[in-house]
Amino acid sequence: MIADLQCVVLDCPGPSELAGFYQSLLGGVVNQPDRRWSLDEDWATLHTPSGFVLAFQRVADHRPPRWPDPARPQQFHLDFGVADLDRAQEQVLAQGAEVLDAGADGRSWRVYADPAGHPFCLVRH
Q: Where are the domains of the chain?
A: 4-62+73-124
Measured CA to CA, the distance from residue 45 to residue 7 in angstroms comes to 9
Tell me how far apart the alpha carbons of residues 60 and 11 are, in angstroms, rounded to a whole number. 10
**CB atoms closer than 10 angstroms to residue 120:** 21
Contact 57, 17 (CB under 8 A): no
Tell me the pLDDT tens digit for each residue of 10-37. Answer: 999 999 999 999 999 999 999 999 999 8
- With H, G, I as helix, E, B as strand and everything else as coil, classify residue 124: strand
Helix (H, G, I), strand (E, B) or coil at 119: strand
Q: How far apart are the C-alpha atoms of 10 and 36, rounded to whole Å?
A: 17
State the CATH architecture for 4-62+73-124: Roll (3.10)
pLDDT of 66 reads 87
Range in 40-54, 58-72, 88-102 with the lowest mean pLDDT: 58-72
